[in-house]
Amino acid sequence: MNLFNTIRVGLKEVWTHKFRSVLTMLGIILGVASLVGMAAVIKGMENGMKEAMIAMGGADKVLLQEEDVPSHQQHLADQAPGRTMVDVEALRRSAPLLRVVSPEMRVSGVVATRGEKMVMPSELCGVWPAVIDMNLHTLAHGRFFTELDEENAHAVCVIGTGIRDELFGAPEDIGREIIPIGELLNLNGQPFTIVGMFARYESEQEKKMRELARSKPPEARAGPPRRRGFGRGNWAFWHKNYTMYIPLNTAWIRFRAASGVDNIPDPRLSDIDLKVESIERVEVALQQARNVLMMTHRGIEDFSFRTQENNLESINKQIRNARLSGGFIAAISLLVGGIGIVNIMLASINERIREIGICKAVGASGLAIFTQILIESVVIALLGAALGVGASYGLVAILALISPSANAPLITPLAMAIAVAFSALVGVSAGLFPAWKAARLNPIQALRNE
Partner 1 sequence: MALVELRNVSKIYQLGGEEIRALDDVSFDIDEGEFISIIGPSGSGKSTLMHILGCLDSPSRGTIQLDGMMIQDVSARELAAIRNRKIGFVFQFFNLLPKLNVVQNVELPMIYSGVSAGERRRRAMAALESVDLANRSRHRPSQLSGGQQQRVAVARALVNNPRIIFADEPTGNLDSHTGEAILGLFRRLSVEGRTIVLVTHDPEIAAVTPRRIEIRDGRIAEKIDLTLAGLNRTAPTVPQRPADGGTGVTQ
* Binding residues for partner 1 (CB under 8 A): 1-2, 5, 12-13, 16, 354-355, 357-368, 443-444, 447
User: Nearest approach, Cβ of 25 to partner 1 (angstroms)?
Assistant: 20
Q: Which is nearer to partner 1, 294 or 367 (CB)?
A: 367
- Which is nearest to 344 in space by CA: 32, 31, 26? 26
User: Nearest approach, Cβ of 371 to partner 1 (angstroms)?
Assistant: 11
Give the gyration radius of the chain's Cα atoms: 33
Q: Which is nearer to partner 1, 91 or 446 (CB)?
A: 446
Gap between the Cα atoms of 424 and 71, Å rounded:
60
Following DSSP, what letter does each residue of 145-184 receive, concatenated? --HHHHHHT--EEEE-HHHHHHHH--HHHHSS----TT-E
Gap between the Cα atoms of 433 and 132, Å rounded:
66
User: Nearest approach, Cβ of 441 to partner 1 (angstroms)?
Assistant: 11
User: Nearest approach, Cβ of 7 to partner 1 (angstroms)?
Assistant: 13
User: Do strands 123-127 and 243-247 pair parallel, antiparallel, or not at all (unpaired)?
Assistant: parallel
Q: Which is nearer to partner 1, 1 or 324 (CB)?
A: 1
User: Nearest approach, Cβ of 365 to partner 1 (angstroms)?
Assistant: 4
User: Are the C-beta atoms of 76 and 69 separated by less than 8 Å?
Assistant: yes
Q: Which is nearer to partner 1, 187 or 359 (CB)?
A: 359
Sort 338 into a burial class: Cβ within 10 Å, 0-12 / 13-18 / 19+: buried
User: Nearest approach, Cβ of 366 to partner 1 (angstroms)?
Assistant: 6
Q: Which is nearer to partner 1, 5 or 65 (CB)?
A: 5
User: Nearest approach, Cβ of 20 to partner 1 (angstroms)?
Assistant: 15
Q: Which is nearer to partner 1, 265 or 443 (CB)?
A: 443
**How big is the chain, counted in residues?**
450
3-state DSSP assignment of residue 225: coil
In angstroms, the Cα distances linking 324 to 19, 321, 352 are 34, 5, 41
Q: Which is nearer to partner 1, 314 or 365 (CB)?
A: 365
Q: Which is nearer to partner 1, 2 or 138 (CB)?
A: 2
3-state DSSP assignment of residue 160: coil
| Torsion 13-17-18-23 (CA) sign | negative
Gap between the Cα atoms of 193 and 180, Å rounded:
10
Which residues contact residue 276 at a Cβ distance below 8 angstroms, ignoring those fewer than 6 apart?
Answer: 60, 62, 97, 98, 99, 282, 285, 286
User: Are the C-beta atoms of 102 and 273 separated by less than 8 Å?
Assistant: yes
- H/E segment holding residue 205: helix 204-215
User: Nearest approach, Cβ of 6 to partner 1 (angstroms)?
Assistant: 9
User: Nearest approach, Cβ of 344 to partner 1 (angstroms)?
Assistant: 17
- β-partners of residue 65 are 304
